[in-house]
Amino acid sequence: MTNSEIVDLLELTGRLMELHDRDAFRTRAFQTAAFNLDKSTADLSNLSADELVKLPGVGKAVAGKIREIAETGHLAELDALLAETPSGVLDMFRIKGLGVKKVRTLWQELGIDNLRDLQLAGENGQIAKIKGFGANTQEKILAALEFLQEQQGKVRMDKAAMIANMLRDELVKHFERVEISGQVRRKAQEVDAVQLLIQTSDPISAMQILAGLPNLQQNELVSSPFTWRGQLQGFDVQVELLLYPAEQLDRQLFIQTAADPHLQQVGNGGFSLLQTAQTNVNVAAEAELELEEVEKSIYARAGLPYIVPEMREDDFAFRWARSHRNDELVTWEDLRGTLHNHSTWSDGKQSVAGMAAYCRELGLTYFGIADHSKTASYANGLDSDRVRQQQQEIDQLNASFGLDFRIFKGIESDILGDGSLDYDDAILATFDYVVASVHQTLTMSLEKATTRLLKAIENPYTTILGHPTGRLLLAREGYPIDHRAIIDACAEHQVVIEINASPYRLDIDWRWIEYAMQQGVLLSINPDAHDLAGLLDMHYGVAVGRKGGLTRDMTFNALTLAEMSDYLQKRRERIRA
């Protein structure tokens, strides 16, 4: 069992104990342990009970439960609680703004035990009549339900890639060639179908092989002799396995990767990309080419410029290609450092030194720490005294490095309700840079949200605007903002915009990257990392950056160490002038 799996089970146990009004002391014990262990870097499954009780927030009783989870893979007490809880009540916890107490009230007072009944109660005005709810809460619940329904059957980019790779690893044991295609190959941020192409000259035998594979559940109603559709056990997203002979696979991989609006683009020859790809060519000659050369030949025959897989969404890529080359697109290798990261000083799992050391292993030349600020008490945000202590630690670490690596002193400063940052100028002046982000009071009108961000952008200490809409993909819709006004203001005040590379966010949306570049706004691919693995999330940021046409020249953290040091120094000098 991984740490996250153990913590999830403890957290769910605490939540259900509260739902069923179990002993308050024991309930808090589970909740406290889950909260503290979420930050732990210890291998929980391999610790004895005596070792576990030495960890923050873990008592003897919970230590025993952790050992039970590690040894059996489940928790008997949780199993009993789940048996008492309708599955629809568990679904209600997915509604943003519905805590345990509100869910219990809805269940006990209105008898609501599923999302459908919850929606009907909201539409009938019953929720607003409950004490402690009101019309505003009812409206938020209905909006959250609508959002969840729209996201049903989808997974994030990271989970889609994981599923696709799991499937490919299994399928290559049985087939000569298997290729990941569709939305996963073009790096869609949300995926509703994980698609792979399988090379076979015998589709009947291939289907028999697929039928015998474990964990694959076919939906025969939507399948056909050449297309297997269904699901991988444990995942809600649809899986598509398409069967093609060798001579068709490359062309079909091109067709299946691109979105339909992209395929319908017509080139100089008067034919669409789709028509061109479907036209018979010299199969023998094509068989000698690498996949990229096959795809380039399709674009060339259509009279269109070659477009990389990530950008094959619509006609945007062709407009972009009028003034750019594919080799200008940012790559992982172009990144020289990382600027939005958290450590154990706030809510991260690794020390500043540990995060910096891993960055050096990755070949990066600078690491920017941007722990949470004082308003974020829920994330152990830093008050002014702890800011000074952290900065002293960074000075000591920097003294141990040579000239090829540096830790920059940053902060993720909360944008308060009125748009101000939550430190005074004297503290803000001590940082090398400031990431300004909204974390609280997320329910805002477009006018309120835009005004709030504009004031933060106007603050001379704001270096980077963090996750501009606050969205959580498939979980929480971002607050509405006037993107053009925000980007224009960033251009005026020379504020960098973050592409938050966490696959949970990917915010700013890739569709606004081109406009930002046109206005001269730099974009920073920031992982928002809370542990070592989180630093690798910059791969997702690179993917959506490329999708939006981001060039290395407009990528803030593609600056070299010397260039970044010079940029930040000159910015501080402008503030003091």
Q: For residues 25 and 55, is the Cβ–Cβ distance under 8 A?
A: no
Amino acid at 116: R
Output the CA–CA distances (angstroms, integers) from residue 456 to 418, 420, 468, in the order listed: 9, 6, 11
Question: Reduced to 3 states, what is the DSSP secondary structure of residue 312?
Answer: coil
Q: Within a 10 A sphere around the Cβ of 109, how many other Cβ atoms?
A: 12
pLDDT at 488: 98
Q: For residues 464 and 432, is the Cβ–Cβ distance under 8 A?
A: no
Name the pTM for this structure. Answer: 0.88
CA distance 67 to 65: 5
List pLDDT tens digits, range 512-567.
999 999 999 999 999 999 999 999 999 999 999 999 999 999 999 999 999 999 99
Phi, psi of 416 (to 5 degrees): -75, 175
Does residue 274 come out as left (phi exceeding 0), alpha (psi in the -120 to 50 range) or beta? alpha
pLDDT at 521: 98
Pairing of strands 193-199, 337-338: unpaired
pLDDT at 284: 64
Burial of 357 (0-12, 13-18, 19+ CB in 10 A): middle
pLDDT at 234: 87
pLDDT at 49: 92
pLDDT at 217: 95
Residue numbers in the chain where pLDDT is lower than 70: 282-285
pLDDT at 2: 87
pLDDT at 567: 98
Rg of the chain taking only CA atoms, in angstroms = 26
Domains of the chain: 3-151 (1.10.150.110), 153-244 (3.30.460.10), 260-322 (no CATH), 332-576 (3.20.20.140)
Alpha helix locations (H) across 264-401? 273-278, 283-287, 291-302, 316-321, 352-361, 384-400
In DSSP terms, which residues pair with 238 in a beta bridge? 193
Residue 449: closest CA among 434, 471, 468: 468
List pLDDT tens digits, range 135-148.
988 888 888 888 88
List pLDDT tens digits, range 405-431.
999 999 999 999 999 999 999 999 999
pLDDT at 283: 65
